[in-house]
């Protein structure tokens, strides 16, 4: 039965109500399982008499539905083909007719569909778009170009490939010439409507989209159609780079007008052409350089020009990076003009910056420090000066140095001038990128960053009286930027003043101090050792944590409490570095973390904050309890169970990981009642439907199985667990999780309970092996074989595996063993896996009747494979201490619908034979015992080997 249009509209409206949204989302989940749900959503979006908010909610719902329900991992449609075709037929026209806010959502949906279908399964799209171009209707053209841009922009970050170029050429053949015609037609319409504000703005929006699509079409290579029209295109681009019309000026100083947007788009395209196509485009660049210089020299400080200034500076940075054009800057007078007219105005503080500092401090911090200011004036001016310095280091350093000294002198009476001097010094002192992990790694050898700090900045860090908050921030940011350049001793001197600044009443100052402390604690030397570690912070750690928690808890509304992720990241880092040193006050830490959890779960709004929050909890779980895991379980069960009960989707993957870690830390003994209550919900498909839950749920269930194996068998839960395994195995992205679950079953559940299902398990695995499996799948299959083969003592072993394969197909084992198991075993990399393979091979050689009698050649091949592995015997070392902390900077982790692993409670490597330490000695002893068990038969099998094999095995069999 198809969904009811009016009811869906009501549900969409209810999702916007903070009280009703949970139930409404559940209602929509049920509706989406009905036929033609996507088409019903499109009808809602197209219904003009519905409220705009409902239509927008419908577009958003449609986009998310398409993201998860359009195709599977192998590009097979999950929707009926007639529904797919209808969606593609209706979507373009609908998007063109919709308001801009809805166009954005539908454009993203089109991009998702294009990822799957364009161009081989949607080869009519480009012709459809071109057929809709109008010589004079900007509304239609803007809609068409929005669609085109949403599809073509996908090419920008991609690496070159034959498939990509085939797709681009398909587009160019149909699109490039009509596109150039529309570019000229739009230029004519702008000229014809120069005095009509409404029409002019519409055509300028068209021009902006045309320039964006121009970039898209050129991002991989210059289209031949553009190359043959380059002079005409250049003339048109220059015309609009210098275009002025008072009708399009905006009165709001913070709102960029469409003219500024077009000029910024042009500068971005110019940067691309200078970087990629300078041989062809170089002869046209001089006029653009002059115009960009003129624009930057005369433009005002208003924030509405920020993006344009930034893009113009990026263009000049590209010019300065070319051998052909950079020579024009190799002159002291020219560089003086560059610094005075372009760099200084754009690194200096503006009133708008100070207002942001005071009124929206968290936004100021994110823009300034996180790298989100990539398009800020200050960052762009800095990059431009650094590019010049890379070519003319001595000259740029000398010219900038004069201005730095001048502004330092002026800064004695005006702190803003000192801020300018420090910004300019940062521009010339740092070489290369400022990395998140290390700050500045390489500095300009013509300056001394430590001396500059001590002489000009240190007093602002230390003094409390008469120092402006922004001056404090400058001092802390300087330490943050050059943290790799300071010695441990210098950091020891700076650390106490840095911590004292956390006591500042100013939001930005104490946050910057927390950021700097966190990055210092993350800092490692070239050998990977901490520059500043537990011994350095132990005297301050408890007070530091108490103060940081106090700052986080200062606000008690969920949104405000989780606003400042930098404070929580500092808490996380202190806990990681302190490791077991927190055991004396772990209860206090848990009081804070649990209290924060209980507040923010009602409205999880900042993914970074709650990621760091759960990493902090992970650090406590992994290192913090001297009383074992039971005390932690007692503290955490209540709040964590509420998260599951209340269906707080954002937190559940983290909670499952923490529960799993608690179980893994104590893998033996009966399963606590807490977890017994979790088992039935874990069997339900609803939790597994959310993709972000799957890795954590798998890990939790795999941790539960060893401690609940008896009750799982008694309560007939083996089959439901294997049903979960089957579903996981069906998806490419979850097949590794399937093996995690299967291995836990094989290790923990007795043979009698799993034998009735083993044939079906193998059938599923063999089916996947026949359909072009990934290397990772083959490796996991081979590891699974070795696990079963090695577990002779539990009733498994190679003979059990062979007998089960025979139930699938007689003698299929030979094919599997020779084509998959033996060659793939050589590719096992982890010592733990190679060790398992050696144990498996040795037990097959010593105790398998099948290899002794049925597979005589197989015995020889197995022996040769084992000897190869024993040339370099695998050594398994147990992980220790602080391995968990430095693999990846959490800034690199993507947040959203996917799964985010917690580094602080990663799953340890399972060694199924920890008692075996010396592999060679174990193999020697095993063969001796097996030879005795079988009355000397093993020694007799030596005749099956080549002379080389006999020589190799001689040291293991006497």
The pair of three-digit structure tokens given for residue 696, joined into one six-digit string? 């954590």
User: Concatenated DSSP letters for 148-216?
Assistant: HHHHHGGGTTPPP-HHHHHHHHHHHHHHHHHHHHHHHHHHHHHHHTTT-HHHHHHHHHHHHHHHHHHHH
User: Concatenated DSSP letters for 830-895?
Assistant: SHHHHHHHHHHHHHHHHH-HIIIII-HHHHHHHHHHHHHHHHS--------TTTTSSSS-GGG---
**Cis? peptide before 783, omega within 30° of 0:** no
What per-residue confidence (pLDDT) applies to 266? 98
For residues 386 and 434, the model is more confident at 386
The stretch 428-437 carries a mean pLDDT of 86
Residues 6+ apart with CB under 8 A from 879: 908, 909
What per-residue confidence (pLDDT) applies to 915? 94
What per-residue confidence (pLDDT) applies to 371? 56
Per DSSP, 524 falls in state B
pTM value is 0.90
pLDDT of 369 strictly over 80: no
User: Concatenated DSSP letters for 423-448?
Assistant: HHHHHHHEEEEEETTTEEEEE-TTS-
The pair of three-digit structure tokens given for residue 458, joined into one six-digit string? 């240190």
Round to whole Å and give the CA distance between 340 and 349.
Answer: 15
Round to whole Å and give the CA distance between 724 and 669.
Answer: 25
For residues 696 and 894, the model is more confident at 696
What per-residue confidence (pLDDT) applies to 883? 40
Residues 6+ apart with CB under 8 A from 604: 558, 562, 610, 648, 650, 651
Summarize pLDDT for 70-98 with one digit per residue, the tens: 998 888 999 999 999 999 999 999 999 99
Distances (CA, A) of 836 to 182, 494, 769, 830, 920: 66, 51, 21, 10, 13
Per DSSP, 527 falls in state T
- Residue found under tokens 């195709």: 71
Q: 30: exposed, middle or buried (C-beta count within 10 Å: 0-12, 13-18, 19+)?
A: exposed
Summarize pLDDT for 174-194 with one digit per residue, the tens: 999 999 999 999 999 999 999
Q: 25: exposed, middle or buried (C-beta count within 10 Å: 0-12, 13-18, 19+)?
A: middle
Distances (CA, A) of 254 to 164, 198, 305, 306, 489: 40, 21, 8, 9, 46
Distances (CA, A) of 64 to 733, 796, 896: 19, 46, 12
Distances (CA, A) of 334 to 394, 396, 433, 835: 15, 10, 25, 67
Residue 558: HSE in the Cβ half-sphere, 13 Å Cα cutoff: 12
The percentage of the chain sitting over the pLDDT mark of 90, rounded to a whole number, equals 83
What per-residue confidence (pLDDT) applies to 643? 95
Per DSSP, 671 falls in state P
pLDDT classification of 465: cutoffs 50, 70, 90? confident
pLDDT of 896 strictly over 60: no
Residues 6+ apart with CB under 8 A from 771: none
pLDDT classification of 916: cutoffs 50, 70, 90? very high
Residue 253: HSE in the Cβ half-sphere, 13 Å Cα cutoff: 8
What per-residue confidence (pLDDT) applies to 878? 56
Summarize pLDDT for 707-762 with one digit per residue, the tens: 999 999 999 999 999 999 999 999 999 999 999 999 999 999 999 999 999 999 99
The stretch 816-838 carries a mean pLDDT of 96
Round to whole Å and give the CA distance between 385 and 428.
Answer: 7
What per-residue confidence (pLDDT) applies to 897? 52
The percentage of the chain sitting over the pLDDT mark of 70, rounded to a whole number, equals 96
pLDDT classification of 887: cutoffs 50, 70, 90? very low
The pair of three-digit structure tokens given for residue 231, joined into one six-digit string? 């002079």
pLDDT of 894 strictly over 60: no
Summarize pLDDT for 468-494 with one digit per residue, the tens: 999 999 999 999 999 999 999 999 999
698 close to 737: Cβ distance less than 8 angstroms: yes
3-state secondary structure of 912: coil
Round to whole Å and give the CA distance between 533 and 521.
Answer: 6
> Nearest-CA neighbor of 309 among 318, 298, 324?
298
pLDDT classification of 886: cutoffs 50, 70, 90? very low
The backbone torsions φ and ψ at residue 611, rounded to the nearest 5 degrees and listed phi first, read -65, -50
Per DSSP, 556 falls in state -
User: Phi-psi category of 663—alpha, beta or left, where left has phi over 0 and alpha has psi -120 to 50?
Assistant: alpha
What mean pLDDT is reported for the chain? 92
For residues 886 and 38, the model is more confident at 38
> What number of H helices and E strands is found in the chain?
52, 2
Per DSSP, 300 falls in state -
Q: What angle do CA 736, 741, 744 make, to 5 degrees?
A: 125
For residues 536 and 368, the model is more confident at 536
3-state secondary structure of 77: strand
Which H helix or E strand runs over 369?
Answer: helix 361-369
What per-residue confidence (pLDDT) applies to 873? 77
- Residue found under tokens 């394969």: 805
What per-residue confidence (pLDDT) applies to 668? 81
pLDDT of 261 strictly over 70: yes
> Nearest-CA neighbor of 678 among 700, 658, 662?
700
44 close to 12: Cβ distance less than 8 angstroms: yes
> Nearest-CA neighbor of 241 among 146, 308, 327?
308
Alpha-helix residue ranges (DSSP H) falling in 375-525: 377-391, 393-410, 415-429, 449-456, 458-462, 469-481, 488-500, 507-522
pLDDT of 372 strictly over 70: no
Helix axes 919-933, 856-871, angle to 10 degrees: 150
Round to whole Å and give the CA distance between 243 and 249.
Answer: 12
Round to whole Å and give the CA distance between 822 and 851.
Answer: 14
pLDDT of 293 strictly over 60: yes
Summarize pLDDT for 107-116 with one digit per residue, the tens: 999 999 999 9
Residue 921: HSE in the Cβ half-sphere, 13 Å Cα cutoff: 5
What per-residue confidence (pLDDT) applies to 624? 64
What per-residue confidence (pLDDT) applies to 627? 59
The pair of three-digit structure tokens given for residue 339, joined into one six-digit string? 């610094």
What per-residue confidence (pLDDT) applies to 281? 96
Determine how many CB atoms are found less than 10 A away from the CB of residue 655: 23
pLDDT of 375 strictly over 60: yes
């Amino acid at each position: 039965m198809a969904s009811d249009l009016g009811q869906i509209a009501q549900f969409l409206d209810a999702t916007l109500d903070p009280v009703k949204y949970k139930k409404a989302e559940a209602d929509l989940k049920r509706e989406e399982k009905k036929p033609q749900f996507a088409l019903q959503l499109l009808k809602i979006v197209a219904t003009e008499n519905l409220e705009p908010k409902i239509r927008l909610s419908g577009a958003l719902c449609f986009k998310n539905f398409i993201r998860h329900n359009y195709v599977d991992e192998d590009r097979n449609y999950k929707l009926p083909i007639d529904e797919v075709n209808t969606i593609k037929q209706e979507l373009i026209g609908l998007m063109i007719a919709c308001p801009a806010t809805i166009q954005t959502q539908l454009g993203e949906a089109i991009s998702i569909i294009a990822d799957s279908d364009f161009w081989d399964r949607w080869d009519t799209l480009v012709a459809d778009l071109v057929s809709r171009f109008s010589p004079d209707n900007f509304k239609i053209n803007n809609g068409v170009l929005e669609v085109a841009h949403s599809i073509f922009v996908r090419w920008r970050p991609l690496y070159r490939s034959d498939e990509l170029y085939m797709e681009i050429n398909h587009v160019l053949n149909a699109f490039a010439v009509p596109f150039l015609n529309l570019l000229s037609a739009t230029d004519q319409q702008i000229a014809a409507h120069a005095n009509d504000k409404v029409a002019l703005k519409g055509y300028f929006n068209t021009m902006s989209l045309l320039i964006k699509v121009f970039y898209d079409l050129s991002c991989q290579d210059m289209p031949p159609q553009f190359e043959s029209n380059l002079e005409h295109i250049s003339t048109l681009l220059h015309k609009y780079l210098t275009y002025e019309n008072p009708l399009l000026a905006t009165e709001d100083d913070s709102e960029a007008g469409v003219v500024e947007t077009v000029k910024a788009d042009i500068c971005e395209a110019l940067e691309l052409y200078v970087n990629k196509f300078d041989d062809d485009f170089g002869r046209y660049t001089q006029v653009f350089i002059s115009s960009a210089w003129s624009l930057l020299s005369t433009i005002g400080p208003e924030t509405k020009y920020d993006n344009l200034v930034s893009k113009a500076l990026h263009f000049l940075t590209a010019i300065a990076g070319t051998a052909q054009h950079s020579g024009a800057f190799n002159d002291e007078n020219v560089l003086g003009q560059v610094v005075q007219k372009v760099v200084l105005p754009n690194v200096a503080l503006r009133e708008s910056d100070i207002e942001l500092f005071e009124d929206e401090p968290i936004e100021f911090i994110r823009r300034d420090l996180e790298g989100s200011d990539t398009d800020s004036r200050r960052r762009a001016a800095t990059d431009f000066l650094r590019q010049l310095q890379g070519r003319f280091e001595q000259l740029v350093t000398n010219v900038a140095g004069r201005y730095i000294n001048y502004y330092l002198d002026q800064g004695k009476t005006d702190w803003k001038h000192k801020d300018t001097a420090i910004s300019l010094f940062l521009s010339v002192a740092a070489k290369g990128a400022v990395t998140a992990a290390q700050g500045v790694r390489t500095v300009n050898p013509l300056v001394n960053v430590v001396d500059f700090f001590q002489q000009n900045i240190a007093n602002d860090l230390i003094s409390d009286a008469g120092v402006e908050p922004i001056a404090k921030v400058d001092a802390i940011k300087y330490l943050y930027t050059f943290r790799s350049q300071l010695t441990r001793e210098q950091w020891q001197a700076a650390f106490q003043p840095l911590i004292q600044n956390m006591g500042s009443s100013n939001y930005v100052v104490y946050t910057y101090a927390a950021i700097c402390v966190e990055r210092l604690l993350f800092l490692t030397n070239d050998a990977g050792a901490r520059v500043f570690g537990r011994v350095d912070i132990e005297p301050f750690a408890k007070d530091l944590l108490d103060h940081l928690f106090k700052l986080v808890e200062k606000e008690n509304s969920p949104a405000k409490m989780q606003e400042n992720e930098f404070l929580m990241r500092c808490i996380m880092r202190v806990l990681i570095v302190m490791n077991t040193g927190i055991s004396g006050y772990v209860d206090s830490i848990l009081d804070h973390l649990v209290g924060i959890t209980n507040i923010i779960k009602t409205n999880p709004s900042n993914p970074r904050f709650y990621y760091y929050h759960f990493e902090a909890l992970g650090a406590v779980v992994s290192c913090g309890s001297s009383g074992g895991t039971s005390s932690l379980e007692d503290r955490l069960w209540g709040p964590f169970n509420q998260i599951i009960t209340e269906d707080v989707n954002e937190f559940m993957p983290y909670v499952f990981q923490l529960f799993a870690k608690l179980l893994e830390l104590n893998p033996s003994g009966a399963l606590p009642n807490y977890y017994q209550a979790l088992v039935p919900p874990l069997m339900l498909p609803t939790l597994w439907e959310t993709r972000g839950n799957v890795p954590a749920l798998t890990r939790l269930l795999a941790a539960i199985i060893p401690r609940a194996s008896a009750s799982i068998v008694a309560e007939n839960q083996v089959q439901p667990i294997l049903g979960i395994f089957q579903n996981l195995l069906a998806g490419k992205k979850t097949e590794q999780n399937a093996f995690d679950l299967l291995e836990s079953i094989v290790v923990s559940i007795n043979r009698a309970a799993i034998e009735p299902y083993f044939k079906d398990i193998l059938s599923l695995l063999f089916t996947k092996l026949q359909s072009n499996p990934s290397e990772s799948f083959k490796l996991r299959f081979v590891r699974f074989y070795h696990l079963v083969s090695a577990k002779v003592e539990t009733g498994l072993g190679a003979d059990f595996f062979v007998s089960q394969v025979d139930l699938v197909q007689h003698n299929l084992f030979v094919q599997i063993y020779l084509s998959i198991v033996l060659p793939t075993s050589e590719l096992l990399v982890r010592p733990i896996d190679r060790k398992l393979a050696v144990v498996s091979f040795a037990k097959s050689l010593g105790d398998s009747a099948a290899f002794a009698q049925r597979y005589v050649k197989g015995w020889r091949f197995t022996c040769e494979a084992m000897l190869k592995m024993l040339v370099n015997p695998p050594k398994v070392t147990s992980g220790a201490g602080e391995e968990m902390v430095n693999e990846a900077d959490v800034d690199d982790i993507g947040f959203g619908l996917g799964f985010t692993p917690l580094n602080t409670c990663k799953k340890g490597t399972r060694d199924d034979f920890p008692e075996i330490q010396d592999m060679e000695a174990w193999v020697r002893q095993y063969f001796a015992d097996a030879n005795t068990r079988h009355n000397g038969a093993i020694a007799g099998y030596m005749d099956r080997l080549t002379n080389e094999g006999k020589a190799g095995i001689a040291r293991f069999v006497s």
